[in-house]
Every structure is written in C-alpha cells, then in structure tokens.
Structure 1
C-alpha cells in the first residue's frame, strides 16, 4: 500500500503543481472572458461525457478490484463495461451535436464546440478506473505527469494573447485524450478484450444507481458553471473559475489517501472485518482533518494575494467567492471519506443517491435564486451549501448503518493550530507589498508553525506515523547514495 500511496500522492502533487504553473499564465494572457468561454465550453462537453460514463469510473474500480485475481472474470468485466461505455459515448456525441444546432448561444464559437465533441465521442477511452481497480497507481501517475509536461510546454509556446483562448481549449482536449490513448495502447498487457459471450444486463441495475448518483453530483459540481454562463455571463464564469480552481487546487492532497484505500476497504467491508476497517478509517479521518483545515484557513486568509498572484489583478473581484469556497477542502474531504471510503466500497448505492439528490435540490434552488443577483458569489454560496448538505447526509447514513466511531480531537487540534496563521499573515502583509514575496514567506511560515503546534503542543501521532518517517527515509536514502560515492567520508 505504501507504493500505491506514494504514486497516488505524486499524482496528487502534480494535480496541484501543474495548475499553479499553467493557470496563472493562461488567466493573465487570456483574461476572465477567455477563461470563461473555455471553461463554459469544456464544462458543457464534459457534462455529456459524464452522462456517457454511466457511473462506470466509480463502479468499474469496485468490480475490477473483485475480479483482478481471476483473468477470465477480469476479461469479462472489462469487456462488458467497455462495450456499454462505447455505445453510450456514440449516442451522447450525437445528442451533443444536435444541441449545437438548437441553442442560439452556441453559434458564436461553432468551431470550438465542434472540437469539444471529441471529449464526448472518445470518452469511453478513459480507463483510469481499470488501472485503479488493479491498484496500478504507478502507471496512472507517471503517464499523467508526462502528458501534463507536454501540455504545459504547448501552453507557453502557443498562447500569447487574449485571442489565443482557442489554443487553450485545444490543449485541454489534447491533454485529456492523450492520457486516454496511452492507457489504451498498453491495455493488452493487463487484459484481453472480447466481444462474444458477454452479459451486459447484470451491470445495468448497479450502474443505474451509481449513474443517477453521478449525474446528481454533477448537478451541483459541474452544472454550476453552465448555469452561471446562462444566468449571468462568461466574465462571471471566468471569475468563478479562478476562485474554484484556487480553492480546489490542494484538494488532491486531502483525497490522495482515500483512492489508495478504496480497494482494501471494499475487501474488508465485504468480509465484515469491521475492526480492520475502523483502524483504516481512523487514520483517514485524522489525515483529512490534518490537511483540510489548515488548507481552508490559508485559502481564506490569503485569498486576495492568491487571486492576484495566480490569476492577475483583473480577477480581484473573485476574492469574496474564493473566501466562501475555502471551506470546500473540509466539506469535500470528509464527504469523500464517509461517502467514497465507506458507502461506495460497501455497495450502499441507494444511500449515495439519496445523499447526492439532497445536494442537487439545494444546488438548483440556490443557483437559480442567487446567481441572477450575485453572479459568481451566488454560485460559490450554492456550491458550498450543496457540498455541506451532501456530506451531512453521508455522515447520517454511516452513523445509521455502521458502528464506526470517530474522535473529534483531530478536528479541534487542526483548527486550534491553524489560528496561528492569522498573526503570521498580518505580520507578512505589514512587511511585504509584493504578493509573491508575501506568499513565499507566509505559506512556509504557516506550515512550519502549524506542524510545530501539532507536534509539540498537541502530540499529533500522524506526524510521527507519516511525515517524520517520510523525511527520515528520504534523508537515509540520500545518505546511502552519498556513502556509495564517498565511502571514506560517509561510511
């Protein structure tokens, strides 16, 4: 599990690093309207791709994990799900193209919408779920990082003015489809695709439940951008995009451990090894609290500086939205824990659907009520409240169905330790007027004092179990490397 966690953490860090490098450049060159146009178009296409997926990216991990030790079953499961995915991708691509002729707003940039049909038509080539079910996180991580390096180079080479937003869209499409293509090319090493003797019907009922949950989830996680475009304008979409991207930029760290734990949790839950599950969940709970709370504090307190540094002063109007969205690492982090680490691995699809429907109703009501008046700020409020409702339902069902218990201590110690950020950031603001100097000083200082408070004042065990051994192992590996080169000095 340690190797899987390392590579999933590596992937999570790349999910943070590449947007930190790419989005500031693109947003400053293209501007809020350009970013808004691209985000609206990709969100619209990805929504059709999401429908085409039918919940397979979630359901597939669980089913592949169950069949991975039997090659014949593995071939059947993968082939059946791929055939279903292929068929729905074709159908949704036709529906997507038809919509372009009936909605007047899409006629302003027809070429961009036509290019985006590839995200729908080829959505079936997204098979990360297969490799994650096999727990081959190394493959997913290395492939993703290499493709992102090429896409980053392409951004700097091709995007030079506000008129180049079409290149931004094409690079997003290239990055997505290239990831999928590399996975497809090496697929034959792990599974054999067959077209005869398949039983597609057995997947339809569980897929329908997960699909309903996925679509419902998208109603308040993806549709907010689309609704903002329709109910407000692309400028508001651009501001909202900047706020959301910055608020979610560190989210992969919060959820990185969960993805690795899902296959093992699914196995232990199916065997009713609840004591082992409790031990795993305790660590996951502490991990989520340890990272999500200080990240949220930092995002809220440094929102103006982050907006200017990573987007430009043109996006300063997004500050309030970002401060509202800063709670997302906490709400999504614990929603992921209670939903995708407990309910999903144990097949509680009905409970997942009910929980998410609560978020859908909340999101739709708040978006239609707030967005016409508050635009991007209204969308931010709707997003946060919807996530809180969903997480609340997840917790309710876990408490109702299981006897798992969780200590509130990690939440309290993380919040108390994060309070030190306030004087540190106020001091840094008084010393620096340059936002880059301020961020480069305040963020490391906050992180250092947070860890010191957790370790020395609250004796947080997670530091001893995860962070300290990681640093120690890195130090020892460097020392061994130096010893091999200079045995007379380090021997």
Structure 2
C-alpha cells in the first residue's frame, strides 16, 4: 500500500473535524435564537440518552479494528475476512442496542415525553454501524471522508435554514443533525468495496475477537459515562433550562477539543503499524512529536477560550445563554488533561494492548464524575457538571500516565517537553495581555473578539519563536516552504 503523508492526513482530518464543528458553529447561533432554551435542553437530553445505546452498538470495535486491521491491510483476502467478521459482530451489537433502547422507552416514564426526539437520534445507531469508517482509518483514506463530509455538511446547513424556523422545530433540528452526522454512511459502505468486500459471515472463531472488543467496550462505557453523565444527571435532577445552559458551554468546549483531537486520530493507525512491526524508534519519534505539538496548541487554546468565554457565548448563542460563561471557563481547565488522555489511552495503552489498564483508569474517572455530579449538582447546577468533568479528566490522566510511564516517561521528562510547557506558559501571558487590552480598546463585540484572536495568535507565535520553541520553529519553517512554492 502506498504510504500516506502523515502531515496531509492530519490536515485532512483536522479539516474534517473543523467541518463537523463548523456545522453547529454556523447553525447554533441561529438555532439558539429560533428555539427556546427548553427546546435546546430537550434536544440535548434526548441525544445524551441515545448516546449510551450508540455506544452499546459500537462496542470497542472501531479501536480494535484499527489496531488489528493495520496488520492485514496489504493482504486483500485477510483484510476482507477480518473486516467481515468484525462487521458481523457489530451488526449483532446493533440489534442488541435497539432492543435495549425500546425496552427503556417502554419502562421509564420519565423519558416518554422525549420519545420522538430519541427515535430520531436512534437512526444514528444503524447508520454508524454500516458506515464502517474504521476501514478508511485503517487505509488512512482521509481524502474521501473529508470530501464526503463537505458535501453533506453543506446540504445539512441548507436544510436547517429551510426547516427550522419556530421554537418547536427542535425535532427537525434533531433529524438534520442525524443526517449531517451519518447521512453519508450508506455511501461509505459501498465505497469501502475498493478496499475489501464486507459482508455478513456466520461461521468464524468469534472468541478471538470478542474478548479484546469487550475490554475496549468496557472502556468506552466508562468514557461515555463521564462524558455524558453530566447532561443526563442535569436533566434528571434539574430541568431543561439548566441542561440548555450547560449544553452551550459543553458544545463550545467540545468544538475546540474535537479539532485538537483530530491530530491524534490520524496518528493512531501509524502508531499501531510501527508498534506492531516492532519499529519502536519510529513509534517513539511520532509519539513524542505528537505530544509536544499538542501541548503547544492546547495550552493557548484553553487560555484564549477562558479569556473570551463571555464573547464567544454572546456571538454563538446570544445574551440569554450568558449563564453558561462560568461553566465554560471551568471546562477550559480540562483541555490539557483531556487531550493528553487521548494520546495515552488511544496512542499508547490500546496500541500496546494494555486495554485492561485503560479500563481501570476510565472506571475510576467515571466513578469520580458521577459521585461529584450527584453531590454538587443540587447546589451548583451546571457549574458542578463542569467541575466534575475537570476532575474526571485529571484523574484519568494520572491513571493513564501511571500505566504507560515505562513508554512515555522519557517524553514527559524530556527537555523538549519541559521547554514546550514553559514557553507555552510564557506565550499565554501575552494572550492574557492582548485580551485585556482589546477588552478596553473595542466596544464592538465582534471587533473585540476578532482582534483578540488574531493578535493573540501573533503574539503567542512571536514569543514561542523568540524562546526557540521547536514546534513553533518547525511550523514556521513549513509555512515558509509553502509560501515559496506558491
């Protein structure tokens, strides 16, 4: 197989991630003004319910398929057999997920008023399964899925402005969101035939797959708990208004996190290949480069968003959602741990077949998240959910680092890593100063925000270059090469 450019893949996947959040970024200001806070709350509560069953259908199949499938991608017969076996398991788990979902809809009266919205979101379960996106990650084909995403995002935005006009149109919004997220998955299934013909098989040794899949599934369960339990518990313990307020801060938080995590996602298959072939030097080089790049990006992103939380909320959602400012500022402290968790969990523990240790860490963090939510939500509402998320991410980082320190301790203790932290912190002083000055200098909300972002990027980059930050110097060198070639 022709080796794909890691830099190109990172760009394409980042672009795809930007597009996936550009849809809500463009549409959410419109939606938050067209729908009521309660409507937004009902939408997000229904989505959080379905997310649990989406997780059941997914099992741990995607991570398992990427890790194991990279070994077979140059052998068409083996990859076809492997992919078909994994797909068959996935279809079985999808059927189980739907059965459990329908039972819950019948049994729990609390969610009866959300049935229609839940059923709309449940379409994601089937279409995510047949999408087999892990095939494209195995073969690092980010060009196809990026182009596909652009087309469906554009169509979805048009549909949104046509069909979501009144406060009670949140069901239409839910349907369009599903179409945007998984509408292309039928095309995915057909297009995947250029790599292998995926089909159902009924006679195979399922035991060799199911144990690692279930371990990864258990990890996914606990991750889902601390990701979604805050919204679910807010909906059960409070009301749609509180869920609506928190949904704004958590959505903005996830937008930034998704873009940064895209860099990790494209690197996982390459890390799996190098580790599987015992090319440890190459594995360590990519892991070190990834970690240091993320540190250089996530620190200023979190500080910048903290300083501009109020402005971002006003631009995206309007003044009636200003109550989300404090919870968004709290969530900014979770970025550092959340992004490094992704590296340690997916790039180290899962790639090196330490799934049971990843599971232990996520179980502890999930318990911490639920306990703090139960204790503090009655008193602090959405702020309690944000604090619980920060504590969960912090605890997961401690656990993941403990179980992977024999591999990553050299990276985290290296001069380069320490230098990145110190220079990034120094650069963030410049960001804080710029944001404070722009707040004084401009009365216009839009101008204040634009100049704060642009000038912060410039001052941060300048400080890093002056302090000889290797990541910044490397980016500057690549930018010069691109400019010269134009």
Return the TM-score normalized by structure 2: 0.94
Alignment of 1:299-310 (within 5 A): 299-310=305-316
- Which whole-Å deviations, capped at 9, do the CAs of 1:248-267 have from their partners, x for residues lacking one? 22223322222222122112
1:85 positional shift: 0.9
Residue of structure 2 aligned with 1:89, choices 64, 82, 94: 94
Partner of 1:161 in structure 2? 166
Contact 1:413 1:454 in 2 (8 A): yes
CA 1:376–1:159 in 2, change beyond 3 Å: closer, same or farther? Answer: same
Q: Which has the higher mean CA deviation after the structures are superposed, 68-77 or 397-406?
A: 397-406
Partner of 1:108 in structure 2? 113
Partner of 1:339 in structure 2? 345
Matched, 1:436 2:446: yes
Residue of structure 2 aligned with 1:445, choices 449, 452, 455: 455
Partner of 2:304 in structure 1? 298
Aligned length: 476
Residue of structure 1 aligned with 2:388, choices 382, 402, 406: 382
1:451 positional shift: 0.4
Matched, 1:247 2:253: yes
Distance 1:248 1:7 in 2: 19
Distance 2:213 2:85 in 1: 12
- Which whole-Å deviations, capped at 9, do the CAs of 1:130-168 have from their partners, x for residues lacking one? 210111111222212221111111112221221211111
Distance 2:34 2:245 in 1: 14
CA 1:13–1:116 in 2, change beyond 3 Å: closer, same or farther? Answer: closer
Partner of 1:212 in structure 2? 218
Distance 1:349 1:404 in 2: 22
Contact 1:65 1:133 in 2 (8 A): yes
CA RMSD of aligned residues (A): 1.7
CA 1:312–1:403 in 2, change beyond 3 Å: closer, same or farther? Answer: closer
1:397 positional shift: 1.2
Alignment of 1:50-89 (within 5 A): 50-89=55-94
1:219 positional shift: 0.8
Matched, 1:231 2:237: yes
Partner of 1:487 in structure 2? none
Residue of structure 2 aligned with 1:269, choices 265, 271, 275: 275
Partner of 2:478 in structure 1? 469
Distance 1:470 1:65 in 2: 32
Partner of 2:3 in structure 1? none
Matched, 1:120 2:125: yes
Distance 1:245 1:112 in 2: 19
Contact 1:254 1:287 in 2 (8 A): no
1:327 counterpart SS class = helix
1:401 positional shift: 5.6
Residue of structure 2 aligned with 1:99, choices 96, 104, 107: 104
Matched, 1:190 2:200: no
1:307 positional shift: 0.9
- Which whole-Å deviations, capped at 9, do the CAs of 1:20-55 have from their partners, x for residues lacking one? 212222112213211111111112112101111111
1:237 positional shift: 1.1
Matched, 1:257 2:266: no
Residue of structure 2 aligned with 1:41, choices 46, 53, 62: 46
Contact 1:31 1:314 in 2 (8 A): no
- Which whole-Å deviations, capped at 9, do the CAs of 1:205-238 have from their partners, x for residues lacking one? 1011101100011110122211211111111111
Residue of structure 2 aligned with 1:131, choices 132, 136, 141: 136
- Which whole-Å deviations, capped at 9, do the CAs of 1:304-324 have from their partners, x for residues lacking one? 111111111111011110000
Partner of 1:25 in structure 2? 30
Q: Unaligned regions of 5+ residues in structure 1, if any?
A: 479-491
1:377 positional shift: 0.8
CA 1:245–1:73 in 2, change beyond 3 Å: closer, same or farther? Answer: same
Contact 1:89 1:123 in 2 (8 A): no
Distance 1:433 1:403 in 2: 47
1:414 positional shift: 0.6
Q: Which has the higher mean CA deviation after the structures are superposed, 371-380 or 8-17?
A: 8-17
Matched, 1:416 2:422: no
Matched, 1:318 2:345: no
Contact 2:135 2:192 in 1 (8 A): no
Distance 1:169 1:205 in 2: 35
Matched, 1:221 2:227: yes
CA 1:449–1:368 in 2, change beyond 3 Å: closer, same or farther? Answer: same
Contact 2:127 2:183 in 1 (8 A): no
Distance 2:419 2:206 in 1: 47
